[in-house]
Amino acid sequence: MRRFIKAYLTIVAGLILLANFVLVLIYGRQFLIQASVDCVGPVGCGLGASGFLWGVVIFNGVALAISAVIWLLIVRAVPK
């Protein structure tokens, strides 16, 4: 049963990490396309979309780190 709990937590954590990675790729692509379109206008290149993208990447990185620490604490708490 304990081995099942560890395996289940590992699979769930892996799926969450994979989903977050895919979301960052999708949003990153969208914001980079939008930033390149913004550069075509008469105003020039703005940092709005790029700054927001970095905010998303940093927030997602922090969220992933926190979830990884929580996963590690839960897995270590389950005795062998």
Whether the predicted pLDDT of 51 surpasses 80: no
Whether the predicted pLDDT of 43 surpasses 60: no
State pTM to two decimals.
0.50
Q: Which residue has the higher pLDDT, 62 or 79?
A: 62
Please give the span between the terminal C-alpha atoms of the chain, in angstroms, as a whole number. Answer: 10
Residue-wise DSSP of 10-53: HHHHHHHHHHHHHHHHHHHHHHHHHHHHHTTSTT---SHHHHHH
Question: What's residue 16's pLDDT?
Answer: 79
Question: What's residue 23's pLDDT?
Answer: 78
Domain ranges of the chain: 2-77
Q: What is the pLDDT of residues 14-29, one digit of tens each?
A: 887 788 778 777 777 7
